[in-house]
């Protein structure tokens, strides 16, 4: 499959309008005067390429949209770079590209530049995707772990861990049929919805690799503050819980690809939750805990009332028997 | 070293395997160690193998014990002076 | 989740806690704390996961014994597995083993360097791979206590029935009762009661603990892994202790019977025989393991591929043996936090993410 033919047959029909018309080497973008822009990139190497609820294509769009959103930016422009393994079925590629187009359109994001390369059989596991995104910083957001203070509330926009469990169920070949569906999706509308409360929003992150445990530990690492979350408040879907039980996994360490974690001042958390719950992607939003004084630690208050550490996830998540 | 979950048998195949489910999530299970399991039986599953049936009568009995303890606890909290339930 | 959620009810947990506190207050008149040992990795994990030590009365001391078969597997076993992968075998392992270091490296690193190491949730993965790759040798890393031994042996029987010839087991099966006996025979440790493993007991039956009660007069309570199971199990132990009793109490009767799973036991007896076994950090405990009977030598990876696993490769400074027996606290070990950390563990107490030393390390971080 030659790159040129590929581009003519598959890329141009889907993305060849707007900035990509005529396939220039680079996109010329109208940056609004005096605006701060946010720029992010991410590469996607998920296996399998297609999983219940999505594929590497919409994952790649949502991942970059969500990184921009977590920085308080409105997503505008996307680059799309594909590395394809020779022999990848055209039908698979087409499904992935259709998903990219749909996801980008849904997010109001234009694919403005890109690249495709084909590598030899045996390289790149079918397909690797890189997306880079530019967004416009929304007025009023000043985000960073340094702003977080004792007493702040911790919110999540919905059930955690569905994506990681959906992918693992397929990958570990345990033949869990009709199991969990990935939660891959955009969260930028959740950020847009709380623009008016931006002053009280201290920190946002989408809990991807390493799950909630990674995000919360990152916030407290090396600082004079800690976090307390309550197990009774943590939202998990029935399917993700059942699958995690079967495989012996801790859902706190499992990736979501369509959720947002926010740390905000107590005074705005009620309004944030109301705003989020008014949107379909925020229907399951809840407060899960608060920031404390216990230096550098994330503590979980379990259902027994006993407390334990939420560790930094180490290494690969693997099913266990022990 | 004994991670095992209770699952309900949904469908039995002729080859010693079955489809069992936990909260509607189905998974393949090998029944060779519990050959008398039937559709609807609860089994405890370790590493993809059923290792024993669950005795639902015993399970319900112990759950009842815990329910009574929960009721006792609720009553103790509610009747404690000056405590908001 | 049916038959799970009911055992995680926070209000019932609070109730059992209250009863534990009340009983502990009565026991406070004793000279010392009640030492309860649990010997199952899943109990260790559950106790950590639900913060159980955080809520137990001060007069109850929960000791984590050598309960994780992955963690007590000698380093040389892992070396042998890695050697087999490097020689071109397809090595199939449970996820638990992948990141455990042998004497130099891990199966995960071996895989990164090109070794074929497959993670299987079920031992049947080995059968699938053997059938799919008839030109290659498949080796299954057969570790575990009795709970896992039964499914693995069943897998072997199914493989033999299907006429599979390119599959073998690298065995390191361990038995729980001999380990309990070894612990109880050690004059240096005081164990007042055992919280007995849930699913090992499914296989061997609750009656398996009667000899310990009869000979050593220690209460043995079989409890499940849910938080209410564990709390109620500890309450059951304290009640026995307060009455000066020692009996086998099966609190996991929803799955555990007095005699255990007869089919599993017969199957294990057909293919396996008791052998001496090396426990990482402890040393050899006589007849504490199971190996393939000579007539099944063709399926023994050690014989088939000529790999041997020496037992005498323990780091002499490793104090796991003492820690596992509750004789010593982690910081007293010369290697703790220096040569031995979660990222490069030496002995089982650090290998297991919930082992005594790993837990200490986490909380002191």
Let me know: does B54 contact B18? Beta carbons within 8 Å: no
pLDDT in tens, C145-196: 999 999 999 999 999 999 999 999 999 999 999 999 998 998 888 899 999 9
Chain C contact for B19, CB < 8 A?
Answer: no
pLDDT in tens, B40-79: 999 999 999 999 999 999 999 999 999 999 999 999 988 8
SS3 labels along chain C: CCCCHHHHCHHHHHHHHHHHHHHHHHHCCCCCCEEEEECCHHHHHHHHHCCHHHHCCCCEEEEECCCCCCCCCCHHHHHHHHHHHHCCCEEEECHHHCCCCCCCCCHHHHHHCCCCEEECCCCHHHHHHHHHCCCCCEEEEEEECHHHHHHHHHHHHHHHHCCCCCEEEEEEEECHHHHHHHHHHCCCCCCCEEEECHHHHHHHCHHHHHHHHHHHCCCEEECCCCHHHHHHHHHHHHHHHHCCCCCEEECCCCCCCCCCCHHHHHHHHHHEEEEEEEECCCEEEEEEEEEECHHHHHHEHHHHCCCCCCCCCCCCCCCHHHHHCCCCCHHHCCCECCCECCCCCCCHHHHCCCCHHHHHHHHHC
The pLDDT assigned to A178 comes to 61
The pLDDT assigned to A4 comes to 78
Let me know: does C226 contact C7? Beta carbons within 8 Å: yes
Q: Are strands A201-205 and A261-264 parallel, antiparallel or unpaired?
A: antiparallel
d(CA A33, CA A215): 34
Q: What is the ipTM of this complex?
A: 0.92
The pLDDT assigned to C309 comes to 81
The pLDDT assigned to A179 comes to 72
The pLDDT assigned to C320 comes to 85
What average pLDDT does range A94-100 have in this prediction?
97
B chain contacts of residue A242, beta-carbon cutoff 8 Å:
22-25
Q: Which carries the bigger pLDDT value, residue C359 or residue B6?
A: B6
The pLDDT assigned to A241 comes to 92
pLDDT in tens, C54-64: 999 988 999 88
d(CA C89, CA A69): 47
Chain B contact for C124, CB < 8 A?
Answer: yes
What average pLDDT does range C359-364 have in this prediction?
78
Let me know: does C330 contact C357? Beta carbons within 8 Å: yes
The pLDDT assigned to B83 comes to 52
The pLDDT assigned to A196 comes to 97
Distance from B24 to chain A by nearest Cα, in Å? 8
Task: Decide if pLDDT at C311 tops 70.
Answer: no
The pLDDT assigned to C365 comes to 54
d(CA A287, CA A270): 9
Task: Decide if pLDDT at C308 tops 90.
Answer: no
Let me know: does C74 contact C309? Beta carbons within 8 Å: yes
- In the DSSP assignment, the letter for residue A211 is H
What average pLDDT does range A14-21 have in this prediction?
85
The pLDDT assigned to C310 comes to 67
Nearest CA in chain B to A237: B23
Q: In the numeric block, which tokens belong to residue A38? A: 């946010």
Residues of A with a Cβ under 8 Å from any B Cβ are 174-180, 238-239, 241-243, 245-246, 248, 320-322
The pLDDT assigned to A177 comes to 53
Let me know: does B25 contact A243? Beta carbons within 8 Å: yes
Task: Decide if pLDDT at A319 tops 60.
Answer: yes
- Picking from C13, C68, C98, the nearest residue to A322 by CB comes out as C68
Q: In the numeric block, which tokens belong to residue A102? A: 């749909």
Distance from B3 to chain A by nearest Cα, in Å? 5
Chain A contact for C10, CB < 8 A?
Answer: yes
Let me know: does C78 contact C100? Beta carbons within 8 Å: yes
Q: What are phi and psi of C151, to 5 degrees?
A: -60, -40
| 3-class secondary structure, A101 | helix
What average pLDDT does range A275-296 have in this prediction?
96
Q: What is the domain partition of chain B in residue ranges?
A: 5-79
Contact B3 A321 (CB under 8 A): yes
Let me know: does C67 contact C43? Beta carbons within 8 Å: yes
At residue C364 the predicted structure's pLDDT band, cuts being 50, 70 and 90, is low
d(CA A239, CA A166): 9
Distance from C31 to chain B by nearest Cα, in Å? 30
pLDDT in tens, A58-87: 999 999 999 999 999 999 999 999 999 999
- Quote the mean pLDDT of chain C: 92
Q: What are phi and psi of C117, to 5 degrees?
A: -120, 115
The pLDDT assigned to B84 comes to 53
Q: Are strands C60-64 and C220-222 parallel, antiparallel or unpaired?
A: unpaired
Task: Decide if pLDDT at A176 tops 70.
Answer: no
Cβ–Cβ contacts within 10 Å for residue A78, how many? 27
Q: How many contacts, defined by CB atoms under 8 Å, are there between A and B?
A: 43
Angle at C233 between CA C231 and CA C237, to 5 degrees: 115
Least confident residue range of A308-322, C152-166, C228-242, C283-297: A308-322
- The CATH class, in words, for B5-79 is mainly beta
Task: Decide if pLDDT at A249 tops 70.
Answer: yes
Nearest CA in chain A to B28: A175
d(CA C224, CA C201): 10
The pLDDT assigned to B81 comes to 66
Task: Decide if pLDDT at A175 tops 60.
Answer: no
pLDDT in tens, C72-105: 888 899 999 999 999 999 999 998 888 888 888 8
The pLDDT assigned to A316 comes to 74
What average pLDDT does range A232-238 have in this prediction?
96
The pLDDT assigned to C273 comes to 98
d(CA A244, CA C226): 15
d(CA A154, CA A290): 5
β-partners of residue A153 are A264, A290
Find all residues with CB under 8 Å of A49, minimum gap 6, and list them: A55, A56, A92, A96, A126, A127
Task: Decide if pLDDT at B26 tops 90.
Answer: no
d(CA C148, CA C70): 11
- Quote the mean pLDDT of chain A: 92
Q: Ramachandran region of residue C100, left (φ > 0), alpha (ψ -120 to 50) or beta?
A: beta
The pLDDT assigned to A43 comes to 96
Chain B contact for C144, CB < 8 A?
Answer: yes
What average pLDDT does range C338-365 have in this prediction?
81
User: DSSP string covering A114-178, please?
Assistant: EEEEEE-TTSTTSEEEEEEEEEEEPTT----GGG--TT-EEEESS--SHHHHHHHHHHTT---TT
Distance from A258 to chain B by nearest Cα, in Å? 22
């Amino acid at each position: 499959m030659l790159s040129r033919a590929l581009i003519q047959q598959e890329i141009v029909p889907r993305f060849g309008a707007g900035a990509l018309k005529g396939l220039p080497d680079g996109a010329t973008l109208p940056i609004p005067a005096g605006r701060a822009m946010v720029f992010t990139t991410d590469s996607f190497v998920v296996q399998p390429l297609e999983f219940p609820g999505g594929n590497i294509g919409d994952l790649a769009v949502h991942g970059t949209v969500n990184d921009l959103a977590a920085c308080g930016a409105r997503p505008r422009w996307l680059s799309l770079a594909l590395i394809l393994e020779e022999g990848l079925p055209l039908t698979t590629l087409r499904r992935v590209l259709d998903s990219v187009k749909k996801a980008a359109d849904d997010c109001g994001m234009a694919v403005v530049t890109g690249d495709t390369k084909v590598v030899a059989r045996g390289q790149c596991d079918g397909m690797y995707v890189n997306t880079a995104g530019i967004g416009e910083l929304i007025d009023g957001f000043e985000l960073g772990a340094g702003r977080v203070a004792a007493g702040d509330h911790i919110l999540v926009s919905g059930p955690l861990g569905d994506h990681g469990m959906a992918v693992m169920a397929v990958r570990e070949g345990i033949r869990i049929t009709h199991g969990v569906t990935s939660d891959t999706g955009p969260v930028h509308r959740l950020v847009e919805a709380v623009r008016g409360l931006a002053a009280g929003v201290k920190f946002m992150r989408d809990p991807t690799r390493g799950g909630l445990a990674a995000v919360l530990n990152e916030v407290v690492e090396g600082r004079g503050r800690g976090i307390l979350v309550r197990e009774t408040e943590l939202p998990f879907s029935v399917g993700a819980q059942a699958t995690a039980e079967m495989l012996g996994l801790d859902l706190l360490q499992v990736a979501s690809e369509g959720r947002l974690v926010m740390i905000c001042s107590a005074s705005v958390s009620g309004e944030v939750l109301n705003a989020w719950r008014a949107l379909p992607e925020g229907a399951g939003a809840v407060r899960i805990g608060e920031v404390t004084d216990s230096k550098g630690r994330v503590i979980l208050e379990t259902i027994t009332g006993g407390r334990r550490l939420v560790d930094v996830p180490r290494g690969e998540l693997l099913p266990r028997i022990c | 070293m004994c991670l095992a979950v209770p699952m309900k048998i949904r469908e039995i195949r002729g080859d010693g395997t079955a489809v069992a489910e936990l909260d509607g999530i189905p998974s393949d299970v090998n029944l060779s160690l519990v050959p008398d399991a039937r559709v609807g039986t609860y089994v405890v599953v370790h590493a993809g193998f059923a290792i024993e049936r669950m005795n639902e009568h015993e399970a319900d009995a112990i759950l009842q014990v815990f329910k009574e303890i929960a009721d006792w606890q609720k009553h103790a909290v509610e009747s404690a002076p000056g405590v908001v339930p | 989740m049916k038959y799970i959620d009911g055992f995680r009810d926070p209000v019932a947990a609070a109730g059992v806690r209250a009863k534990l506190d009340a009983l502990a207050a009565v026991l406070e008149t004793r000279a010392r704390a009640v030492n309860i040992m649990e010997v199952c990795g899943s109990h260790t994990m559950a106790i950590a996961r639900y913060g159980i030590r955080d809520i137990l009365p001060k007069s109850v001391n929960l000791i984590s014994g050598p309960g994780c078969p992955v963690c007590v597997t000698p380093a040389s076993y892992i070396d042998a597995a890695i050697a087999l992968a490097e020689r071109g075998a397809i090595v199939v392992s449970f996820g638990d083993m992948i990141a455990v270091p042998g004497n130099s490296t891990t199966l995960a690193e071996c895989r990164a360097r090109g070794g074929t190491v497959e993670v299987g949730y079920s031992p049947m993965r080995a059968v699938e791979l053997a059938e799919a790759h008839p030109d290659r040798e498949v080796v299954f890393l057969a570790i575990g206590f009795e709970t896992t031994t039964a499914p693995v042996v069943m897998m072997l029987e199914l493989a033999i029935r299907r006429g599979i010839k390119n599959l073998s087991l690298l065995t390191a099966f361990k038995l729980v009762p001999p380990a309990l006996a070894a612990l109880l025979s050690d004059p240096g440790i005081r164990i007042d009661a055992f919280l007995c493993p849930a699913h090992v007991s499914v296989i061997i039956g609750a009656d398996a603990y009667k000899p310990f009660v009869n000979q050593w007069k220690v209460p043995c309570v079989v409890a499940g892994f849910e938080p209410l199971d564990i709390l109620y199990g500890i309450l059951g132990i304290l009640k026995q202790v307060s009455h000066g009793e020692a009996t086998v109490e099966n609190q996991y009767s929803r799955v555990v019977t007095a005699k255990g799973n007869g089919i599993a036991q017969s199957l294990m007896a057909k293919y396996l025989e008791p052998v001496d076994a090396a426990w990482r950090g402890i040393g050899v405990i006589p007849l504490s393991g199971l190996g393939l009977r000579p007539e099944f030598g063709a399926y023994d990876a050690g014989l088939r591929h000529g790999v041997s696993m020496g037992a005498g490769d323990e780091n002499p400074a490793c104090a796991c043996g003492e820690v596992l027996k509750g004789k010593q606290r982690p910081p007293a070990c010369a290697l703790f936090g220096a040569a031995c950390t979660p990222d490069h563990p030496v002995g089982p107490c650090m290998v297991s993410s919930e082992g005594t030393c790993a837990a200490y390390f986490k909380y002191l971080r």
